[in-house]
């Protein structure tokens, strides 16, 4: 199915939409001030070694020193190089990769983060491997959070579209999500492409899940791109001083060229002349075939208005999704899972109730698959289709659902109908969902989705005043609350307020505060 990719660039934010047959399938966002450091490679300078914690603080040029644990050092370095006592001696290099380090297939994060399962030489204490003042090439595993600095690793990995390159490791691994029957054949293909006959090339690779159906030419192109990137990093490490950035992970536009472009992509349109030139240069060097699809958009209308993408983004933040037939979905995202409820709504077009339910569920299966991509919902998803009596209807809906999910570039797994008529599935988490990126918890309801009624708040206040009157002896009680609560006290609840005032023998005054939500109130003792 043909697709178009639209890129809307602004200094503060980059937005990308993937459109298929006029319908938005995916939306990706990256904000300049919120861009993380994960994947960035630095030439760090060890500022402090902590033997008691078997860790070290490393200066990588940020406001706070970053953190490196002994487990994230290269084990082969530990075996071959003890930290020299003479600090004028050459520092330990981050380039290693002997035969004693083995990465299990699929142990690496597919985004390039180094979560390797290693069978190392015996690990030496950290104080015998590194020393203060030493330069060490490191990669960010986790962004700084609060008062904590970034988490680092010396086990470098660089992600490509199909492969993850391991410059310090000679192992060829395969993602565990690829069927076992295909892994060995894929491993041998990459081995033949990555290792020349003279054996001159070094470094290992992990095949990502989307490399399962890749051609030799696509794999060869990815290998070339990754090796060029690593060569640039090594050259920068010889020129730059310690505590400097050697390699920044690709920005969103570059990741679009690396990860989203396929043979089905007809065009990649971008509305910034400057960024168009930068992308052309990037594509020409690393992805020549992709460069031909780049187009500069110069139309008067905003590029996202071409396919009403802003409207689709707004709808993607809503719980309810209307179906063309008159039915609708209700999508609720919780911390543990996402639920999707299918309803017939006003759809009465079929000849009988069974056909009505069947047609609604078929349309829902297509829409749910699209909404999962558009909203980037990951983790466990529970779908409550409308109950179907006929087994052939259930089979047809499940088949259609799996067919639509197969178009997703993110890995999904789907079960059958449970005894309760639910369909359970999982979708790999690749980044924050669209709702988490664009919205925050409502300050009025604190994420519950509902607030107490004004009458309930009035009764809470009356109980609180009675409680305070028993503990304190003020001259007067003053209630500060939202306008709606105060109005209710002045009208329907005035008798109850007056009765409490008589009971405690103290006057109760009211003050409206426009900045307060309906559930907020203060009781001031005067």
Report pLDDT digits (tens) over 344-354: 876 555 567 88
How much is the average pLDDT of 409-419?
88
Is the pLDDT at 75 greater than 80? The verdict is no
- Give me the pLDDT at residue 348, please: 59
Is the pLDDT at 486 greater than 90? The verdict is yes
- Give me the pLDDT at residue 196, please: 64
User: Which pLDDT band holds residue 99 (cuts at 50, 70, 90)?
Assistant: very low
Higher pLDDT, 296 or 101: 296
Least confident of 129-133, 194-198, 212-216, 305-309: 194-198
Least confident of 107-121, 451-465, 479-493: 107-121
- Crossing angle, helix 273-286 and helix 216-239, to 10 degrees? 110
Nearest CA among 167, 188, 187, 166 for reference residue 175: 187
Query: Cα–Cα distance between 229 and 247 in angstroms, integer?
Result: 9
Q: Where are the chain's structural domains?
A: 3-35+253-309, 41-249, 318-438, 454-525
pLDDT digits (tens, 9 = 90+) for 499-512: 999 999 999 999 99
User: Which pLDDT band holds residue 400 (cuts at 50, 70, 90)?
Assistant: very high
Is the pLDDT at 419 greater than 90? The verdict is no
- Give me the pLDDT at residue 105, please: 33
- Give me the pLDDT at residue 180, please: 85
The sign of the dihedral angle between the CA atoms of 444, 445, 449, 452 is: negative
> What CATH class has 41-249?
mainly beta
Query: Cα–Cα distance between 59 and 136 in angstroms, integer?
Result: 10
- What are the backbone dihedrals phi and psi of residue 124, each rounded to the nearest 5 degrees, phi first? -85, 155
User: Which pLDDT band holds residue 339 (cuts at 50, 70, 90)?
Assistant: very high
Query: Cα–Cα distance between 57 and 151 in angstroms, integer?
Result: 10
User: Which pLDDT band holds residue 91 (cuts at 50, 70, 90)?
Assistant: very low
- Multiple choice CATH, 454-525, 3.40.30.10, 3.40.1260.20, 3.30.300.130, 3.40.50.12280: 3.40.1260.20
Is the pLDDT at 78 greater than 50? The verdict is no
pLDDT digits (tens, 9 = 90+) for 21-67: 888 999 999 888 777 788 899 999 999 999 999 999 999 998 889 99
Tokens standing for residue 188? 């041998």
Q: How far is CA 56 from CA 87, 127, 133, in A?
A: 17, 9, 11
- Give me the pLDDT at residue 33, please: 79
Query: Cα–Cα distance between 73 and 497 in angstroms, integer?
Result: 68
pLDDT digits (tens, 9 = 90+) for 364-394: 999 999 999 999 998 899 999 999 988 999 9
Return the DSSP state at 384: E
Nearest CA among 174, 165, 177, 67 for reference residue 111: 165
Query: Cα–Cα distance between 238 and 507 in angstroms, integer?
Result: 79
The whole-chain average pLDDT of the chain stands at 84
pLDDT digits (tens, 9 = 90+) for 226-281: 998 999 999 999 999 999 999 988 889 998 888 888 888 999 999 999 999 999 99
CATH assignment, 3-35+253-309: 3.30.420.60
Which DSSP helix (H) or strand (E) runs through 277?
helix 273-286
């Amino acid at each position: 199915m043909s697709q178009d990719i639209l890129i809307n660039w602004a200094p503060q934010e980059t937005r990308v939409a993937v459109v298929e047959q006029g319908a938005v399938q995916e939306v990706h966002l990256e904000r300049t001030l919120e861009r993380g450091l994960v994947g960035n490679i630095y030439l760090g300078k060890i500022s402090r070694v902590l033997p008691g914690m078997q860790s070290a603080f490393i200066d990588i040029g940020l406001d706070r020193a970053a953190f490196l644990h002994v487990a994230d050092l290269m084990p082969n370095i530990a075996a071959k190089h003890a930290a020299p006592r003479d600090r004028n001696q050459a520092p330990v290099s981050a380039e290693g990769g002997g035969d004693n380090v083995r990465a299990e297939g699929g142990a690496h994060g597919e985004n390039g983060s180094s979560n390797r399962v290693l069978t190392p030489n015996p690990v030496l204490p950290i104080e015998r491997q590194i020393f203060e003042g030493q330069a060490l090439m490191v990669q960010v595993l986790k962004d700084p959070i609060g008062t904590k600095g970034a988490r680092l690793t010396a086990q470098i990995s660089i992600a490509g579209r199909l492969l993850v390159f391991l410059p310090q490791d000679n192992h060829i691994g395969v993602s565990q999500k690829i069927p076992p029957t295909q892994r060995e054949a894929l491993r041998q293909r990459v081995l033949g492409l990555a290792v020349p006959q003279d054996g001159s090339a070094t470094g290992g690779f992990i095949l990502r899940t989307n490399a399962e159906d890749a051609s030799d030419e696509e794999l060869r192109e990815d290998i070339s791109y990754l090796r060029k990137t690593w060569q640039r990093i090594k050259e920068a490490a010889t020129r730059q001083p310690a505590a400097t950035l050697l390699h920044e992970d690709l920005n969103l536009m570059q990741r679009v060229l690396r990860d989203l472009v396929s043979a089905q992509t007809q065009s990649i349109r971008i509305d910034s002349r400057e960024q168009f030139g930068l992308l052309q240069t990037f594509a020409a060097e690393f992805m020549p075939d992709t460069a031909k699809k780049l187009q500069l958009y110069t139309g008067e209308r905003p590029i996202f208005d071409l396919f009403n993408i802003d409207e689709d983004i707004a709808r993607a933040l809503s719980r309810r999704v209307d179906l063309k037939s008159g039915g609708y979905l209700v999508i609720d995202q919780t911390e543990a899972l996402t639920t999707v409820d299918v309803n017939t709504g006003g759809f009465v077009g079929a000849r009988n109730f069974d056909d009505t339910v069947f047609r609604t569920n078929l349309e829902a299966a297509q829409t749910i698959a699209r909404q999962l991509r558009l909203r980037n919902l990951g983790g466990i998803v529970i779908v409550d289709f409308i109950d179907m009596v006929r087994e052939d209807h259930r089979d047809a809906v499940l088949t259609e659902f799996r067919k639509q999910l197969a178009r997703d570039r993110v890995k999904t797994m789907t079960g059958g109908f449970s005894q309760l008529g639910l369909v359970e599935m999982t979708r790999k988490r690749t980044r924050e969902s669209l709702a988490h990126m664009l919205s925050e918890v409502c300050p009025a309801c604190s994420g519950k989705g509902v607030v107490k009624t004004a009458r309930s708040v009035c009764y809470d206040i009356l109980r609180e005043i009675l409680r305070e009157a028993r503990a304190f002896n003020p001259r007067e009680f003053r209630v500060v609350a939202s306008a709606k609560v105060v109005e209710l006290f002045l009208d329907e609840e005035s008798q109850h307020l007056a009765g409490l005032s008589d009971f405690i023998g103290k006057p109760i005054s009211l003050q409206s505060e426009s900045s307060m939500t309906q559930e907020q109130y203060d009781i001031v003792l005067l």
